[in-house]
Amino acid sequence: MSFEHRALQLDRVSKHYGEVRALEDVSFELRKGEFLTMLGPSGSGKTTTLRVIAGFVEPSSGALLIDGRDMTGVPPQRRNIGMMFQDYALFPHMTVLENVAYPLETRGVKRSERESRAREMLGIVGLADFAKRFPKQMSGGQQQRVALARALVFHPDIVLLDEPMAALDKKLRGQMQIEIMHIARKVGATVVSVTHDQEEALVMSDRIAIFRAGRLAQIGTPQELYTRPNSEFVADFIGEANLLRGTARREAGTCRLEGPGWRAILPADDPRAPAKTAAVTVVLRPEVIALAAEGERPANALTGTIEDRIYLGVEFRLIVRLADGSAVQVRSRDLARISALAQGDAVTLCWRDEDFVVIPG
């Protein structure tokens, strides 16, 4: 059996600046060709992680391997890494073609080959006809694609993107997200990107790493993070989440969860059921909550009064106020029944067993 190296491995990487713990015990691995996005609030350690990978920052402890090779003591220019940052910093006095060919020049590739490889890359990013232009003669999105071509042209082991879309307007950002993802796939690049825009992370990534205060809070596919967040922080960070607080109790072969205005039941052997009485938070996404049928007494239920009912074309958004004053957001396509409701009406809402997450505390 052949053993394929991981494209990238971080093993318990920490970086401290005096008292500041910029990174603490961060471990993850990437497969070749994988697109990872690091997502988290400002100051959570995303850029530091990129700088550790690039070699601009030496970890205080822990190890970094690229394609199975330990990078300790290997300077940035000896790591085969492509980079594209927010200020894409194209060389203004060079043509587009010269900009893209530049990394090949610094790597000693001969002139004729430099030009043909740079032209090929410009073709891939859709700028074949712009080779002779200067950066200032191009739009923001085009400049961005030049920067991407320059980051990819020398077939780097890893491409690092730090907030690559931050300087673009919203519409262009959306197009570029999809474009960059397709180009990265086409050339088989392994990519680590940074953003604080959750939609960007969902659109572009095979997996997302969520950072919080220098630690990796959770890493997984967009679906894993959305459907099985391991903390309130992650639940809140990806998508919309209702957080219901209460207590879990073992009782006659089941586990009962209860809080002000809501209850739920789990089979005793469900992995989500705490072993003994414990404080819990239940995570419910707005779209898994439904109106209970007339006269039904569902096992998983919450009761409250309608505070707001907003029609959004394909669905309604309901805001339901619970006994303890907290609000629950619901998104429902049960248009006929919801149309018949009015502000102040009492409602019973329910959800399926498989559609909720239980987080300790």
Q: Which residues bind Mg ion (CB under 5 A)?
A: 47
Residue 57 or 90: the one with the smaller Cβ distance to ligand ADP is 57
Distance CA 248, CA 275 (A): 9
From CA 30, how far away is CA 36, in angstroms rounded? 8
Nearer to ligand ADP, 26 or 322 (CB): 26
- Burial class of residue 238 (count of CB atoms within 10 Å of its CB; 0-12, 13-18, 19+): buried
Give the total residue count for the chain: 361
- Residue 346 CB, shortest distance to ligand ADP, in Å, is 45
Q: Measured in Å, how far apart are the chain's first and last C-alpha atoms? A: 44
Least distance CB 206 / ligand ADP (angstroms):
20
Question: Residue 177 binds which entry of Mg ion, ligand ADP, none, with Cβ cut-offs from 5 to 8 Å by kind?
Answer: none
Q: How far is the CB of 42 from ligand ADP (least distance, A)?
A: 4
- Interface residue with ligand ADP among 4, 12, 20, 221 (CB under 6 A) is 20
Please tell me whether residue 44 binds ligand ADP under the rule CB under 6 A.
yes
- In the block, which residue shows the tokens 């894409």? 88
Q: Which is nearer to ligand ADP, 47 or 99 (CB)?
A: 47
The answer to whether the CB of 241 falls within 8 A of the CB of 283 is yes
Interface with ligand ADP, residue 161, by CB under 6 A: no
Considering only the stretches 42-50, 82-90, 118-126, 138-146, report the one whose residues sit in contact with ligand ADP under the rule CB under 6 A. Answer: 42-50
Among 40-48, 118-126, 254-262, 350-358, the segment contacting ligand ADP (CB under 6 A): 40-48
**Cα-based torsion angle of the residue sequence 41, 44, 47, 49 in order, rounded to the nearest 10 degrees:** -140
Decide if 175 contacts 98 (C-beta within 8 A). no
Q: Which amino acid is at 213?
A: A
Distance in angstroms (rounded) separating the CA atoms of residues 151 and 84: 6
Query: Which of these, 68, 69, 72, 70, lies nearest to 60 by C-alpha position?
Result: 72
205 binds, among ligand ADP, Mg ion, none (CB under 5 to 8 A by kind): none
> Which one of residues 4, 12, 17, 58 is an interface residue with ligand ADP (CB under 6 A)?
17
Q: Are strands 346-350 and 290-291 parallel, antiparallel or unpaired?
A: antiparallel
- Give the sign of the dihedral formed by CA 155, CA 156, CA 158, CA 161: negative
Of residues 214 and 261, the one with the C-beta less far from ligand ADP? 214
Q: Which C-beta is closer to ligand ADP: that of 34 or that of 162? A: 162
Binding status of residue 46 toward ligand ADP by CB under 6 A: yes
Pick one of 7, 8, 22, 202: the residue that binds ligand ADP (CB under 6 A).
22
Which listed residue (24, 37, 39, 47) binds ligand ADP by CB under 6 A? 47
Among 45, 222, 259, 304, binds ligand ADP (CB under 6 A): 45
145, HSE (Cβ side, Cα atoms, 13 Å): 22
Q: Which two tokens stand for residue 174?
A: 């959306």
Rounded CA-CA distance 34/28 in Å is 12
Q: Is 177 in the site for ligand ADP (CB under 6 A)?
A: no
From the list Mg ion, ligand ADP, none, which binds 103 (C-beta under 5 to 8 Å, kind-based)?
A: none
Say how far apart CA 198 and CA 276 lie, in whole Å.
Answer: 35
Is residue 206 classed as helix, strand or coil in its secondary structure? coil
The mark string for 196-235 relative to ligand ADP (x by CB under 6 A, - otherwise) is ----------------------------------------
Backbone angles phi, psi at 358, to 5 degrees: -115, 125
Report the residue number, 20 or 293, with the smaller CB distance to ligand ADP: 20
Residue 172 beta carbon to ligand ADP: minimum distance, rounded to whole angstroms: 23
Size of the site for ligand ADP (CB under 6 A): 11
| The entry of Mg ion, ligand ADP, none that residue 48 binds, CB within 5 to 8 Å by partner kind | ligand ADP
Query: In whole angstroms, what is the distance from residue 47 CA to residue 211 CA?
Result: 11
The site for ligand ADP (CB under 6 A) is made up of: 17, 20, 22, 40, 42-48
